[in-house]
A = this chain, B = another copy of it.
Amino acid sequence: MARSPVTDSAYQALVQELEHGVHAPGARLPGERDLAERLGVSRVTLRVALTTLEHEGRLERSAQRGWFVPRQVIGEPPSTLQSFTEMARARGLTPTAAVLVQQVRASTLDEADKLRIAPSAPVIQLDRLRGMDGTPVCVDTIAIVLDRAPALADADLTDRSLYDELERRCGVAIHRSAYSVQAAAADERLARLLGVPVGSPVLVGSEVAYTTDSTPILIGVNHYRGDAYRFEADLYRPTSSA
């Protein structure tokens, strides 16, 4: 991969050292100046070789600190809020979304409370059947505060990511979601939509999503096929406190 002969020899020498375990995983390499001298090349040349190794994932750079040998056990997946669409794409599947209901209606007392709006203030009701690669996986029931996302009232949300559209059309970015999940049995309607027997286990996720400034923007309930979805999160234990 290295271009010129000198660069290549430096590259090869480094590969040698790495493969022979001269540098332990996680360890810092000697400074560029030392390395360059030891390999008999200039720093510029050395850096080309190092950069190549970085692109190959065999080294990691950290500015003002040094070059590090990657640990073979890489970090744990952070607990992040992933939209259905992102989740599907991360798995290499095609997300779909069929709109079942999309209308503006008055909010219920409970919704108004959670969304911090006036009771019966208008919300967009959005029910969708979500699928991956054509297989129905989830039924979403969402209520969005109309005032905070007016452009969504009559947008076509078929096969689209709600989070994306929220950001693109309304400039609203979701930052945090209070999520709770529960196991339940599929009722008749749900069973029909998801294509499972009545009484099958489903994972019911309830969410209240907030923007960066902690304004609640939507509440949603997701009914996932029990065998098609797993909810993942990192939980931190508080330090012993009062």
Contacts and interface: CB of A to CB of B under 8 A. Distances in A.
Interface string A93-134: 000000000000000000000001000000000000000000
Interface size class of A (residues with CB under 8 A): 35 or more
A180 B236 CA distance: 14
Contacts of A224: 183
Interface string A179-220: 111111100000000000001111110000010001000000
Given A176-B234, A236-B175, A226 B24 contact: no
B179 A81 contact: no
Given A229-B182, A242-B27, A64 B6 contact: yes
A19, A64, A76, A234 — which one has the most chain B CB atoms within 10 A of its CB? A234
Contacts of A226: 182-185, 201
A237 interface: yes
Interface string A52-92: 00000000001111000000010111111100000000000
B181 A230 contact: yes
Given A63-B5, A64-B6, A65-B6, A237 B180 contact: no
A177 B79 CA distance: 10
B237 A81 contact: yes
A201 B201 CA distance: 5
A173 interface: yes
A179 B76 CA distance: 12
6 contacts: A4-B63, A22-B239, A27-B242, A173-B240, A174-B237, A203-B203
